[in-house]
Amino acid sequence: MMTSDVVPGKLPISILGKENGILIGRNVILKLGVPNCICILKGTDKESIAIVPCAEKQPLSFKVPEDFIGARNRKMRIYSQAFVQELLTANGLDPAKTHRIYGAYSEEYNAAIFPLKVL
């Protein structure tokens, strides 16, 4: 892995409004301990999302590509029109744009948490 691919202390994701997807940064997966699968959970108020490690059999789990951390050009994208559009609409964000969001790691919940309302 190239050191320029990972920015210390920043946990980035991008919500791809036009493509109805979420692009997950390497730092997020590294901070979660490079799990095999992750889940994306939305807050009940829809003003935040959390990414957590989970079991493969858990509903709405997404497999982390095996070479995600080591392969320079490998990306992790999750697509869901309903999920993405609901988040963007609930937070007054332009559904045609890409929104870069930086989150924080919660050791208590072993989760990367991303506030959407502050955008």
Predicted pLDDT at 9: 63
CA distances from residue 106 to 25, 29, 38, 95, 111 in whole angstroms, order as listed: 17, 13, 15, 28, 5
How many H helices and E strands in the chain? 2, 8
Mean pLDDT of 62-81: 91
Predicted pLDDT at 43: 87
Mean pLDDT of 52-80: 91
pLDDT at position 64 over 90: yes
pTM (two decimals): 0.87
